[in-house]
Structures are given as structure tokens and as C-alpha cells.
């Protein structure tokens, strides 16, 4: 019984520490559950005060619209959000990453970035497949516009670069406009 209580106390303590320090973590596949939890945390922290929020991201990507939700909310709330990439920041994870202003986009030294055009599992009747393909094209154009605005690259260059998987190391991400600075400690922010 005491082990269970100790584990609950440790979990509560960790939750309290991350909340008090205004940390948000986005780790793993981007899906509706992660987007909901991340959005609730951002809204709760924004309701407390206007101090900056620090978000840590390590994600292979996932559902684009779930990424859109977090991306848009980062821009919507009053506190500035600083993002720190670690491990890999890919696909819908990269979409969340660029929700922050460029000056607030950081990563740790061994981070890799992956951009690519949206993909989906298309199936069903021919008419449904046609509709889904049209929606993918709309999503692709939106993705190119959003990343062009965030990086300073042209939408045409984003389209060309993301025809296939487009990997960037930290130096390449800085040159591309995806990232402002590589950091090694919290004092570098």
C-alpha cells in the first residue's frame, strides 16, 4: 500500500514541478489524445499568468490536424511559447515546433528534423478516393504556405524539398530558417 502511495506522491510532485516551471512535453506520436492533453496544459498555464511557457518536443509526427490544433494554440495564447526540440522533430511534430516564433525555436545538439508532404491512407469508393486526394492536395498547399512563412523559404522551395523525406541536422535547420539556436543548457535560452 505504501509503494502505491509513494508512486502517486512522486507523480503528483513531478506534475506540480512541471506545472510550476511552466513546462509542457510533447513526446511520441501526434494524435488527438496528445493534442488534447497538450492544449489543456497550454490553456491552464496561460490562465495562471503571462510568463513564457517552455515546450519540449520529440516526435515522429502523426495526425496533421492534431498537430494543427497545438500549432494554432501556441499562436493563440498570450504567453510566448519557447519550443525545444530533442531527439527528432518530424512531420506533425515539426508543424507544432514552428508554431512558436522563430526567435523562440531551440533544440538540443543531437536533434534531427524531418519535413515531408502529407500522406494518408486513402481507400473506399472511387469517388471517395478522389475527394481524399483533393483534400491531401489542399493540405499540402497549406503545409507549404505555413512552413514558408515560418522559415522564410518560398512555398515552391518547400514543395520541392518535401517531395520526399527532407532530413535536416541542427546546422541545416538553422540555415533553412526552421530553428534559431542550438542550446546545451537551460541558461542558453
60 to 3, 14, 89, 113: CA distances (angstroms) = 34, 25, 6, 9
> With contact defined as beta carbons under 8 Å apart, do 51 and 82 qualify?
no
Tell me which of 66, 116, 180, 185 is the catalytic residue.
Answer: 116
Tell me which of 39, 58, 66, 91 is the catalytic residue.
Answer: 91
State yes or no: is 63 an active-site residue. Answer: no
State yes or no: is 185 an active-site residue. Answer: no
As annotated, the active-site residues are 91, 116
Amino acid at each position: 500500500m505504501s509503494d502505491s502511495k509513494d508512486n502517486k506522491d512522486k507523480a503528483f510532485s513531478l506534475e506540480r514541478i512541471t506545472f510550476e516551471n511552466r513546462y509542457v512535453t510533447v513526446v511520441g506520436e501526434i494524435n488527438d489524445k496528445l493534442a488534447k492533453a497538450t492544449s489543456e496544459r497550454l490553456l491552464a498555464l496561460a490562465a495562471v499568468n503571462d510568463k513564457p511557457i517552455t515546450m519540449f518536443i520529440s516526435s515522429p509526427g502523426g495526425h496533421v490536424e492534431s498537430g494543427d490544433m497545438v500549432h494554432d494554440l501556441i499562436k493563440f495564447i498570450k504567453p510566448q511559447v519557447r519550443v525545444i526540440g530533442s531527439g527528432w522533430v518530424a512531420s506533425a511534430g515539426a508543424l507544432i515546433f514552428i508554431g512558436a516564433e522563430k526567435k523562440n525555436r531551440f533544440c538540443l545538439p543531437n536533434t534531427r528534423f524531418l519535413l515531408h508532404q502529407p500522406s494518408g491512407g486513402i481507400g473506399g469508393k472511387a469517388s471517395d478516393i478522389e475527394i481524399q486526394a483533393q483534400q491531401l492536395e489542399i493540405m499540402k498547399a497549406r503545409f507549404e504556405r505555413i512552413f514558408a512563412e515560418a522559415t522564410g523559404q518560398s512555398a515552391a522551395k518547400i514543395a520541392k524539398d518535401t517531395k520526399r523525406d527532407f532530413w535536416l541536422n541542427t546546422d541545416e535547420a538553422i540555415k533553412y530558417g526552421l530553428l534559431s539556436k542550438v542550446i546545451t543548457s537551460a541558461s542558453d535560452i
